[in-house]
Amino acid sequence: MESGDLPQEILIEIFSRLPLKSVGKCRSLAKFWREQLSTPHFIKSHLAHQTHHSHQENLILNTPYHTIYSRSSLKGDTVWKVLPRLALGGWTYIVGSCDGLVLMILEEFQKYLVNPVTRQRVRVPESPLALNREKIVSVHGFGYDSSSDDYKVVTLSYYDTDNDYSDSVETFVDVFSMKRGVWRRVDSSPYDHHVPYDLWIKTLSSGAFVNGALHWLARNRKLGSPSVIAAFNLANEVFDEIPAPSGVDVQNFVFNKLVVLGGCLCMVDGGEDGPIDVWTMKEYGLQQSWTKFRIQVDCKWDIFKPLCFISDEELVLITHGETLAVYNWTNGTVSELATIAPADAIDGCSFVESLVCPAALIGPKSENNF
């Protein structure tokens, strides 16, 4: 039959399976298509197909001078682009990503939600509940709550004290709902998220988003302060605990790192002078499903943390030496990322390409929120 006879509803289905750039171009086909390919429903549908079909992840990284991100595959010739500055001013911290949106924090407090591909961005308002900036430590997380179809920013903060291991330090939990455009303070965390100042560089980290929850490593407040994996559920906005692998040191795994690789929660143990164990929770919540693989490398690599998979057997890592490396576990080798890797990459995360528009997500804001 003639292609021109295909009904629009089928064309929409076909377009929702196109790569991002093609959809962008198709928006210039006609007014009808400009609208149809921009609806929230289409964007969601497109995102679902992207995640399913291509499994491709891109990287967004901080260097001392700017933020860069990759377009196209990380295998072979990666194209790196510089993200236009959010605003004048200094250090930008990458919190994490969800559905193609990246939460970035400028100068420690100004929060922006950015789609690196479409370059759209929106400022997340300051929390009116925020504690006195001079004296607090904050960590953040960003994720999607399917029960309310809402993206949320979560900030954990506590007053920095001189006591290294004070168990009376309260951790406040503030949640920003993109849909409603408001911050709320929910119940404080039952866990102790406080870490000693000298360990900030190693341990202050963003929430790892997987399975509808943001995860941090913390300590239980009970006797002996054993480490826990604290999971903040975005739907009911309360903390719970996820079982850790039985092979890690329960007193000290709070100093490990949590990352999300291939859609699974992973705990990274080691690095610096020794081998790195990457534990992957294959089935969320099931302790027996924690599976370990070991990266045994030359200490010259000084691995900081894994970022994402490139293929079934290769993992991209970022090093303390501010370079990107690739670990191949079929032959156990580490090499420099085979592209012109950016120098001085300090930290970053992976993201999927999507059409999600940050400004369209943010709901009505009350005057009081500014």
Partner 1 sequence: MIPLPLIDGRTLARVITYLNKHTEDDASDEAKRKFDEEFLYGMEVGVLYDAALAANYLDIGGLFHEVCQRIADGMMNKSVEWVRKTFHIESEFTSEEEVQIKKEYAWAWEGVDSNAD
- Cα dist from 242 to 11, 30, 228, 266, 352, whole Å: 43, 50, 7, 12, 26
| 133 φ, ψ (degrees, to nearest 5) | -55, -30
Q: Is residue 351 close enough to count as binding partner 1 by CB under 8 A? A: no
Report CA-CA distances (Å) from 243 to 231, 246, 247: 10, 8, 11
Nearer to partner 1 among residue 81 and residue 179 (C-beta): 81
35, 40, 41, 79: which one binds partner 1 (CB under 8 A): 79
Interacting span for partner 1 (CB under 8 A) from 6-14, 101-109, 196-204, 337-345: 6-14
Element containing residue 124 per DSSP (H, E): strand 121-124
Q: Pick the closer one to partner 1 by CB: 79 or 360.
A: 79
Smallest distance, Å, CB 186 to partner 1? Answer: 37
Kindly state whether residue 30 participates in binding partner 1, applying the rule CB under 8 A. Answer: yes
**Smaller CB distance to partner 1: residue 11 or 169?**
11
360 makes contact with partner 1 (CB under 8 A): no
Identity of the residue, 47 or 334, whose beta carbon is nearer to partner 1 in the bound complex: 47
* Tokens matching residue 132: 């006195």
How far apart, in Å, are the Cα atoms of 59 and each of 7, 74, 94, 311, 351? 38, 8, 11, 14, 6
Residues 284, 269: Cα–Cα separation, whole Å: 19
Query: Which residue, 71 or 185, is less far from partner 1 as judged by CB?
Result: 71
Taking CB under 8 A as the rule, does residue 303 contact partner 1? no
Of 97 and 205, nearer to partner 1 (C-beta) is 97
Distances (CA, A) of 69 to 218, 270, 366: 30, 27, 34
Question: CB-side exposure of 153: number of CA atoms within 13 Å?
Answer: 31
Q: Which of 26, 131, 169, 204 is in the footprint of partner 1 by CB under 8 A?
A: 26
Would you count residue 33 as binding partner 1 (CB under 8 A)? Answer: yes
Cα separation of 12 and 68, whole Å? 32
Structure tokens belonging to residue 187: 């119940």
Q: Segment near partner 1 (CB under 8 A), from 23-31, 166-174, 179-187, 325-333?
A: 23-31
Under the binding rule (CB under 8 A), the answer on residue 356 touching partner 1 is no
User: Under DSSP, is residue 146 helix (H, G, I), strand (E, B) or coil?
Assistant: coil
Binding of partner 1 at residue 54 (CB under 8 A)?
no
Q: Which one of 15-23, 89-97, 147-155, 335-343 is the stretch in contact with partner 1 (CB under 8 A)? A: 15-23
The stretch near partner 1 (CB under 8 A) out of 30-38, 93-101, 276-284, 320-328 is 30-38
CA distance 10 to 18: 13
Binding site for partner 1 (CB under 8 A): 1-7, 9-11, 13-15, 17-31, 33-34, 49, 53, 71, 79, 81, 117-119
